[in-house]
Each structure stands twice: as structure tokens, then as C-alpha cells.
A and B are shown apart, each in its own frame.
Chain A
Amino acid sequence: MSAALAGTRVVELGGYAAGPVVGKYLANYGADVIRIESRRRLDGFRTHYPPFKDNQPGIERAGIFNYFNDGKRSITLNLKTERGLELARQLVKHSDVVVENFTPGTMQRLGLGYSRLAAANPSLVMLSTCNQGQTGPRATQPGFGSQLTSLSGFTHLLGEPEGTPALLYGPYIDYIAVGYGTIAVLAGLVQRRRTGRGVYIDLSQYEAGLQFLAPVMLDYFVNGRVASRQGNRHPSAVPHGVYPCRGEERWCALSVWNDDEWSRFVQALGSPAWARDPRFGSILGRKQYEAEIDVCVAEWTCQHERDDVVAVLRERGLRAAAVSSMADLFADPQLQRYAWRPVEHPVLGKVHVQAPPFLLRETPPAVRRPAPMLGEHTREVLTELLGVDDAEIAALERDGVLD
């Protein structure tokens, strides 16, 4: 069975997560993804983001670069040279998709704007993904995904009601933009198969992130309510929280949603006297005395092993889960099926990357190779796709075009 994107070629420019992870998913599903890099301006994920192999920084030692770039080819082109730009344009002419996440305006300045590229390749699908969109008063303000997550309201919604907001780990919103960017590119390809036309996609990570807050935005527009952080509470479930289990940093999450579940929950706890209190007989009563119930539940959970608490509740059809650490994620039998794929990297050794979190059962994703070394495929790509010969490559190297 051939891969979903067999025969599709993608040119990728940019760095960090928002553009490259889109390219990774396309590569996992069989696209030939060619990443244009340069020694003059390295991807921050190669240089600035731990973890590095043995904690020693180095451009082929970054775990994060490998994690988000498996399956691609890398060529180095110096886009400050006219010949480098010309080679980039020729590559795009032989491609179906361009993904880029430079600061808005950069591609046009380089002469790689959509109109120019599409003039030579009218069916081109191009994704420009950036912090706040290609247009608007703050289009060119620089921004980190981790900080955009705060501008766009997520941080305000995380933490205890009276406490300081807590951070979501990493550039949370970037990965939302990755999902929507992937969708946009695939929809562009679907349209192209039907009409032959390409499309230019202007994706603002800010706007993509707000899709995940659509219900509270509506609550504001309709009811004037400004949503804020509620700890782990939920308006219609009690208990609904995270409780300590036996040992250090062992936590379980559990939630009880109606009277029937509550009676099964009480049984699971061995029907202790406190739980038979008539005040807790209805959801309204449980909501009223939620703090009291939380204390009693925690007294029960902290006497037991985390996994035992989860098992005894799940046996009764209740919702419960261990709060998984990063170590737990790798031991999780579901994630071994649905997430982790081993890959052998020449510097990092045997490590894991994540499969795209949408598994097609007939044409499954594959990890075809580890992330490329910087410029590993420059010669191969220029020869194979653009017919550049050895003498010409030597001249390009000499002139700094392949830096």
C-alpha cells in the first residue's frame, strides 16, 4: 500500500516548531520534505534548546531538533546570495507545497513571496505560519510561542483561583498552530486535486490558538462573563480533581459525574461512614460541600498506591487516571501503540520520536529516517532534482552559495 502523500514534495524554510512540525507530519505520511537550512542562520532548535546528547550543546546533538524533523532531507543554501535564491526558487518549482515560518515580510524581501513562486508554479500550496498573522498592526512584532500562549488567554486560565497563574510547558500554542497548519496544507492539496489551483495560507498562531477557547469567547460575547482559572474544579462534577497517592509525587486524577457514579465511587472506597452522609446524596449537595469531600477523598487516596486507586475505580467503570510523568509516558502501553516510534540517530543513538497523533490504518505513518544532519542531502537534492553537476557544486561551495 503506497503512502498517503507519496509523490508529494514539500520545501520547508524556517525553524523551531510551528513550521517544521507540519513538515514532519507530512514526511511521516510519505511526502519528500526538503528543509532549506543555512550555516549562516541556524535553527534555534539545533543550537539553543536542551536537551543535548550528554548535556553538551552541538548542532547535531539536540534532541528537540531530531524529535521534530525526522523523515526529512536537509540542504544548505545561503539565501543572501542570488544563486542560492535561484536554487531555492527552482526547488519550489519542482514541489507541491512550501511551508515557512519566518517573520512576516521575510519571504517577500528574499524574492520568495507567494505571488512570485506561484507565477512559476500555479498549483503551489503555501503555508505561512507566524505569531500573529502576515497582516495587522502587530504583524512584525517578534514573539515566542511560550509567550503568545499567555497573550491569548491560556495562562490566565491555569492555576488556583486566588493564586498566580501557572505556565503551560513549552510553546503550547505553537503545537495548536501545527495541527491547524497541517489541516490547511492538506485541505489545499485536496482542492488542488479537484481544481488544479494552488492556495496561499496565512495562519496566525494567535488565531489558531483561540479556536481552543471558542466556548469562553462566546460566553463573553453572549453573557459578558470573563472566564478565569478554577484550579481543577468543574461546574458539574464532584469530586473532580487531582489527589495525592502513597509515595512522593504520585498523583491520580478522578471525576464523578452523576448520582449513579457517586454510589459506585462510594462502594469503591469501601462505603466509609463519611461518604454515606446524606448531605452528599445529590450533585447539588456534593457541590456545596466539595472542599470537605476533596479532603476525605485525599485521605483515602494517600493510603494507596496510585495505580491501585486508578484500577479500583476503572473496574467500576469510573473515570480515573494516573498523572503520568515523562517516564510514565514511555512505559504506557497505549502510547507505545499510539505515540512512540524508535529511531536510530547517528549522534543521539537510539531515541524515540512521536508518530502523528492520527493513525491511518491502511496507510500508516512511518519514521523513515532520523532528522537530517545539517546539509546532509545538499548534493543529493541538487543533483537529483535540479541536475546540478559535480563541477557546478564545487563552484557553488567555493562561492559560499551552499553555506
Chain B
Amino acid sequence: MSLLADLRVLDLADGSGSVCGRILADLGADVIKIEPPDGETARREPPFARDVPDANRSLTWFAANVNKRGITLDLASATGRDLFIRLVRTADVVIETPDEHGRLDYDELARANPRVILASLTAYGIDGPLAGCAASDLEITASSGSLWLAGDPGRPPVRTSVPQSPGWTGMYAAAGVLMAVLAREHTGRGQHVDVSAQAGMVTAVSQAPIFWDLLGEEQHRSGPYLVGRSVTGARFRNIWPCRDGYITFALYGGQAGRHTGRALVEWMNEALPDGAPVMLRQLDWDQFDVATAPQYQVDDLEAAIAPFFLSLSKAEFFTGVTARGMLGYPLGTVEDMASDQQLASRGFWQPVQTPWDGELCAAGSFALFDGERPHLLRAAPRVGEHNLDVFGSQLGLGMDEITTLRSAGVV
């Protein structure tokens, strides 16, 4: 599976930008990670394999760099810079995450190779008053509106505990790179692709900005409740406690929800000695419309359902909704997903070699292409693992030249 065979990518992105190259590598591109001689900073990010801190054991780094080759190069030295430009002449794409040390000059790269595409991944974009402003995942999430919309009223807004901005930014950068590859067919030239993490994460807030733009209404965080679905402003419980955790379920009607509503009533009729509460049995699920239902009706209906969910385990709920074709799921954890038959049946977990103890299971690539999932062909590279390959076979440097570069600290 190599949709992107013949595409060569130089990946200078640190940490938060590495996902872009990973995606291209999964799709068959030859992605060469270029790190400073002592490895990139993100290799120091926990968690580590077996909790042993080591440049080759950072799991976040590993996940983002599977399927790439890796070389080291000191871009601050003239020789390193020269070698980099020689690599650029052989490449289609360069990916960078500019930092306080500056960024690559697209014009300089284009002079070396007019067909090269440069993707710059930054917090706020490379133009405007905040160009060059540093931000971590927390601040990017804040600037994008995502933080505003999450958490309980009366408490500070809260972010997802696993950083999300690297995924959003890397993903959109990969789309931008491929778009530029297609544009090159018309123009014959590469170009600069500018990816703002902040703008990328604005897509995660879905329709919330439209309320402001169209009606001048602000949306607010509301903990486990779903908002933004009602013209009356009603909120709907979406996360419910069950016997051993939480489940997700939404009161719904009309074309999309009537089957679920009726199936729930049937289920409660079978399971409960007195059957489903009258209020639920009498509801016209065809006509019930979440967009117009008033809050008091929603509250009453939800109060009639809550005790039933509290009596079920996550597994019982999942078995029930699946068998009855209903909308609803348990709240998953990584442990639940690791044993999920749906993921297993599609070969989602793929073996990959690791530098610490042989083969391991990891999340596979994101889709099936002609029924086949791209393989995890190589482990994330050790620091400088492919120096000989790339500088030798690809750039044609001799062993003695490479040794000299190594002792000068260039590679």
C-alpha cells in the first residue's frame, strides 16, 4: 500500500508537528526525520516505555514517528546547512515547526529546488500580530474556542488531558502538503503551506461560532450536557452515570431518533417489573423534536430514564443498544478499546518493532485502502539511525566523509 510512492519528505518538525510526516509515511512516502545531533527535544517527553527515561523510549515521540527514517544534522553549521540543501534538491516536501531560533526561508529552498513544498506548522500562523508567539497545547486550545466550551459551569474551562492540537495541526498540514502536490501538477512549482494550529482547532468547535455570527448568541460550557441543539436553549444530558462508570445517550426523536426511543421503552418494559414510566410510553417519538422541546419536558423525560441506566453496567448497556440497533455507547477507556471486537475485526492494531523489547501492538493507520490497512513497516528511528543510508547511499558521501562530519558534530 503506497499511494505516495516516489514522494520524498524531509521532516524537521519537532514534537507537535511530527504527526504530519507520520501520516505521509503511512501512505507510502519516504519520510526522513532530520534531528539535531543530540536528538529532538520531544524525545524527552513522558511517558516512556517501562517508565525508563531515554531518547528512544518516549511513547508520544514514538507514536508520531513510526514509518520514518531518521538522520541527524546540525543546521546551525555551514556544512550541515549545505548538506540540508543537497537533500532539499532530492525532496518534494519539507516540514518544519519554526521556533524561537527562526524558520526556514521558503525562497532559499525554492532556489535550490523550485518544485519543493514547504509546510510551516505554527501556533498562530506565520503572518499577523501573533506570528512567532509561543504556545503549548493549553494556550492553543484556549485561543481556538475549544476550552471555552468544555467543563462544568462555575468551574474553570478544561482541556482534554491528552494534547489534541498536535493531531489537528499535523493532520491539516498533511492535507495541505497533498493539496500542494496536486497544485504542482498545474503550476510546475512547489509552494509554501501555512498551517495555524489555532485555526485548525477552530474546526473542533463545530457549529458553536455560527450562533454568534448568525444570532449574536454565545455558547457556554455545560459539563455533561449537550447544548446547541435547541432553539429554546434546552440542554440535554449526554453523559449518564451507570452502575460501573458512565454511558452516553441522548433523548432524541424524529427520523434519526424515533427507533432508539421506542427501543428504549421496549427494553424498559421487558426489564422493569412495572415497565417503562407512563410518560415515556406515551411519548410520540415521531413528533418529539429536540430542536423545539422545552427544558421542563426534557428534564422530566430524563428523570424517568436515569434510574434505569444507573441499574446497568457499561457492558450490559452496550450489549443492549447493539442488539436493539439503538444510538448510545459506553464511555470508553483505552482498556475498553484495546479489547473492542470492532477494532480487532478490522485489523486496527498492528504489530510494530520497538527499540526496547521487540514487537508490540500499536494503533494502525487511519483507513483501509482497497481493503488494506497500510502497515507499520518500521519502528520510529533511533537517533541518527539512518545517517549511513541517507548520507551514503542517497547523497553519495564516502565513509570517511561521514566519519569527519560525525567527529565535527555535524551529524
Contact = CB atoms under 8 A, between A and B. Distances in A.
B159 interface: yes
A155 B205 CA distance: 15
A344 interface: no
Q: Is the interface of A mostly helix, strand, loop or mixed?
A: mixed
B214 to A, nearest CB: 4
Interface stretch (B70-78, B222-230, B383-391): B222-230
Contacts of A352: 209, 213
Contacts of A332: 143
Contacts of A359: 125, 176, 193-196
Interface string B198-239: 111011111111111111011111111111111100000011
Contacts, number: 533
A351 B321 CA distance: 40
Nearest to B117: A360
Interface stretch (A86-94, A208-216, A263-271): A208-216
B40 to A, nearest CB: 16
A84 interface: no
Contacts of B192: 360-362
Given A183-B178, A229-B161, A351-B213, A362 B148 contact: no
A228 B220 CA distance: 24
B4 interface: yes
Contacts of B172: 179, 356-358
Interface residues of B, number: 160
A211 B167 contact: yes
Given A179-B171, A338-B198, A203 B219 contact: no
A323 interface: yes
A389 B159 CA distance: 56
A109 interface: no
Interface stretch (B273-281, B298-306, B331-339, B399-407): B331-339
A213 B343 CA distance: 14
A52 to B, nearest CB: 7
Interface in B356-390: 360-364, 366-371
Interface in B324-345: 325-338, 341-343, 345
Nearest to A235: B46
Contact of B124 (A147, A172, A320, A334): A334
Contacts of A141: 321-322, 325
A276 interface: no
B163 to A, nearest CB: 8
Given A339-B202, A362-B189, A169 B228 contact: yes
Q: Which 5 A-B pairs have the closest CB atoms?
A: A170-B206, A358-B176, A186-B178, A4-B183, A253-B142
Given A136-B343, A151-B332, 15 more contacts: A53-B214, A137-B345, A179-B171, A190-B178, A199-B370, A202-B368, A220-B338, A251-B142, A320-B139, A321-B139, A325-B145, A329-B145, A334-B130, A334-B199, A356-B172
9 contacts: A157-B161, A170-B208, A203-B367, A218-B63, A231-B158, A319-B134, A334-B129, A334-B130, A338-B124
